Homo-oligomer: A and B are copies of this chain.
Amino acid sequence: MPRLAHRTELAVPFHAVELFKEANTLIAQGKDIISLGIGEPDFTAPPTVVEALQRAAAAGQAQYTPPSGTDELKAALCDYYRDHFNASVQPEQILVTAGASGALNLAALALVNPGDEVLMPDPSYPANQNFILAAGGIPRLIPSTAENRFQLTAADIEQHWTEKTRGVLIASPSNPTGATIDPKDLAELIQAVKARDGFIIMDEIYLGLYYEDKPQSALCLDPSLIVINSFSKYFHMTGWRLGWLIVPTEIRPAIEKIAASLAICAPALAQHAALACFEPEAMAIYEQRRLAFKARRDFLLPAFAAMGIQVPVTPDGAFYIYADISQHSQDSDDFSHRLLHEAHVAAVPGLDFGPAYAKKMLRFSYSTSLERLEEAVERMRRFLA
């Protein structure tokens, strides 16, 4: 049997996998489980995007594309940043990837040497640690606070930066909190990191899903940021595996060389079809769906408060509520299993997002219809009564 590399042991598992297995067992037994667990929109691509895919496939547009993506898609992405996020992005900055996963993998490989430390807030998306580990780096989770919207701050950089630290990996809006970073705080954070000659990888995959002020891309503050985005969340194309990486033009060729070798290119048909996302018909649907997500959030927040489930930072994006269940249990893992088996509602215990708030937090995803959310709340109410 081949011996496995050390990183297979270091890699952080997704603990909720066991919970999901139990949920699937219950479903197989005929139980009606409402999943608030999964980080995937319940919508799929609008009809015009599906039709664009069908046309591209019929036309045989399924050969390899250039490693950084088609010119058409890169141009469309530049327009998207200009029209929606107030940012000037050049096609030469873009690398189209197999989802945000491909972009994060590439960013880590391009920037992290073995032994380099990368700071990220606790809580964070669990896979972020594994991208750094895969590149030989050392992810360091820095406990964040509700006061700082569970984001890294300039003060964290002051306190935790060491000789080995090379950069930070942050997300706005964040998974699991759904909370954006305040632009002023972000500007200070950027300054603190750049003063130490560090890099900033900014995950903006939930940027389009905002429920308060219309956001800007972090690129508005600093065009040297490494920005991650994806067609999975706002554009509802999860399984299509299409995302992108924005980097300073000067370092693009070196990163493209790695992308060409390690991936050849992102899925071609998805690249051709994705152009339809930016047409008015599809954009109108995406905006309707964004408002549907907002309505779900606006339903859940007061319902949670009424049940004694606290939400320390009101989420202003994504489709997650990171909620404090300590009024009901001192062990979120145990609580999540009881919630599943007794109320038939699935949610992800805090441990998956870092140890700092593991015991008292749960992530609830509202990528489920309002009707199902109402039913879920009713079940939770009875369970907690």
Given contacts A57-B54, A241-B98, contact A5 B110 (CB under 8 A): yes
Given contacts A8-B257, A114-B136, A264-B99, contact A2 B239 (CB under 8 A): no
- Restricting to A68-117, which residues have a CB under 8 Å from any CB of B? 98-99, 101-102, 105, 109-114, 116
A167 touches B (CB below 8 Å):
yes
Most buried by B among A102, A126, A224: A102
Range class of the A interface residue count: 35 or more
Closest residue on chain B to residue A272 by CB atoms = B239
Whether B263 contacts A98 by the Cβ 8 Å rule is yes
A123 touches B (CB below 8 Å):
no
Whether A241 contacts B239 by the Cβ 8 Å rule is no
Write out the residue numbers on chain B whose beta carbons fall within 8 Å of the beta carbon of A2: 111, 167, 199, 224, 226, 247-248, 251
Whether A262 contacts B101 by the Cβ 8 Å rule is yes
Whether B266 contacts A241 by the Cβ 8 Å rule is yes
Most buried by B among A58, A255, A260: A260
Whether B240 contacts A62 by the Cβ 8 Å rule is yes
Whether A262 contacts B105 by the Cβ 8 Å rule is yes
The chain A residues found within 8 Å of chain B, CB to CB, are 1-9, 11-14, 40, 44-45, 50, 53-54, 57-58, 60-65, 98-99, 101-102, 105, 109-114, 116, 126-127, 130-131, 134-136, 166-167, 197, 199, 224, 226, 237-241, 247-248, 250-251, 254-255, 257-258, 260-270
